[in-house]
């Protein structure tokens, strides 16, 4: 079976970094056509820089990195330096990237690869606010029928919000973009906080990454040590959640996860519940099911997969 072709849309972010490394460490299963940066955890100038730092850390400066949208469709950008640090990749100082940023705009790059590859062969993996994805859909609605699907980290139902009582960060930052994506008719798989809050970076799991003893594993461990402190303080518990790698892990081994095909709609009108993913988990409406909403993950097997793949870099 040939590797699945993906585009990673991302706002690195330490957890985005581990997701990108996981994809680049799995060339038999995943071909990364491009990485498109979006404003989110930190401004675009940093997310595009960080994406290049991550590719060089993996020895993959051949992967094109593009800069996409620098702000949400209509709202002011909200960032998360309180979680990820000022650089977006705090925890270890890495040299500035030497690989160039690709000249093509990130949204154009998404359109370019989807048009160039045979229909139904490209999967979009969205790890940040959905601004680039929605802008691409607006620019060329045709791509909706050409995409194999979208696998995204975002939203929450039983876990409720992490940036407000109602909303998860990626959806909160650009709810109008999320609404366009969830109404697109594209096959969507959602990795919400309901799943990612069970993917905790416990001490034994972090120790197993450190035990790999490689420059990549040391960097990842330093990133995760820094990144998890915010959530451990906030939620208590035995470690911080590792959100974005769940998207790539889903592609590598969907048996790690379980969920339901349900209707998910996005709140865009209310200030109080802006960005809420209104997930009809109990099928109490007749609204059409538009997303596979993941509710659970086998965290031990997930971290075993992540650790094994990081060991290959």
**154 sits near Ca ion (criterion: CB under 5 A):** no
Binding partner selected for residue 132 from Ca ion, ligand RIB, none, CB under the kind-specific 5 to 8 Å limit:
none
Residue 28 or 233: which CB sits closer to ligand RIB? 233
Residues that bind ligand RIB in the complex, under the rule CB under 6 A = 11, 13, 15-16, 40-41, 127-128, 153, 162, 168-170, 243-244
Residue 153 or 279: which CB sits closer to Ca ion? 153
Please, which of residues 227-286 interact with Ca ion by CB under 5 A? 244
Coarse DSSP helix, strand, coil percentages of the chain, rounded to the nearest 5 percent: 40, 20, 45
Residue 127 or 133: which CB sits closer to ligand RIB? 127
Smallest distance, ligand RIB to C-beta of residue 275, A:
11
Smallest distance, Ca ion to C-beta of residue 119, A:
28
Residue among 191, 235, 253 at smallest CA distance from 16: 191
Please, which of residues 118-137 interact with Ca ion by CB under 5 A? 127-128
Residue 64 or 155: which CB sits closer to ligand RIB? 155
203-210 and 299-310 helices, crossing angle to 10°: 20
Assess contact for 50 and 93: CB atoms under 8 A: no
How would DSSP label each residue in 40-63? Answer: SSS-HHHHHHHHHHHHHHTT-TTS
CA-CA-CA-CA torsion sign (115, 117, 123, 128): negative
243 noted as active-site residue: yes
Tokens representing residue 229 in the block: 């402190």
Q: Which of 113, 197, 243, 283 is catalytic?
A: 243
Active site residue ranges: 243
């Amino acid at each position: 079976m040939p590797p699945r072709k993906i585009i990673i849309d991302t706002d690195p972010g330490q957890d985005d970094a581990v997701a990108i490394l996981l994809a680049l460490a799995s060339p038999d299963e995943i071909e990364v056509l491009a990485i498109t940066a979006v404003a989110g955890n930190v401004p675009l100038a940093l997310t595009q820089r960080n994406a290049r730092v991550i590719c060089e850390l993996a020895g993959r400066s051949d992967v094109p990195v593009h800069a996409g949208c620098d702000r949400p469709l209509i709202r002011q950008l909200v960032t998360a330096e309180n979680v990820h640090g000022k650089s977006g990749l705090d925890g270890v100082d890495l040299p500035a990237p030497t690989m160039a940023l690709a000249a093509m705009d990130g949204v154009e790059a998404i359109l370019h690869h989807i048009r160039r590859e045979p229909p139904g062969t490209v999967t979009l993996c969205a790890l940040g606010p959905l601004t680039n994805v929605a802008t691409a859909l607006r620019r060329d609605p045709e791509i909706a029928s050409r995409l194999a699907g979208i696998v995204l980290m975002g939203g929450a139902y039983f876990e409720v919000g992490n940036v407000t009582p109602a909303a998860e960060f990626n959806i909160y930052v650009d709810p109008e973009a999320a609404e366009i994506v969830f109404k697109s008719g594209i096959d969507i798989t959602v990795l919400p906080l309901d799943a990612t809050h069970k993917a905790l970076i416990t001490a034994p799991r972090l120790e197993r990454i450190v035990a790999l003893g490689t420059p990549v594993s040391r960097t990842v461990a330093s990133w995760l040590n820094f990144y998890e402190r915010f959530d451990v303080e906030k939620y208590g518990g035995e470690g911080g959640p590792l959100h974005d790698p769940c998207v790539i892990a889903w592609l590598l081994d969907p048996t790690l996860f379980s969920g339901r095909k349900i209707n998910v709609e996005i709140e865009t009108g209310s200030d109080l519940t802006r960005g809420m993913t209104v997930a009809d988990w109990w099928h109490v409406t007749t609204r059409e099911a538009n997303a596979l909403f993941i509710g659970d993950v086998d965290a031990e097997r997930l971290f075993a997969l992540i650790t094994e793949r990081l060991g290959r870099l």
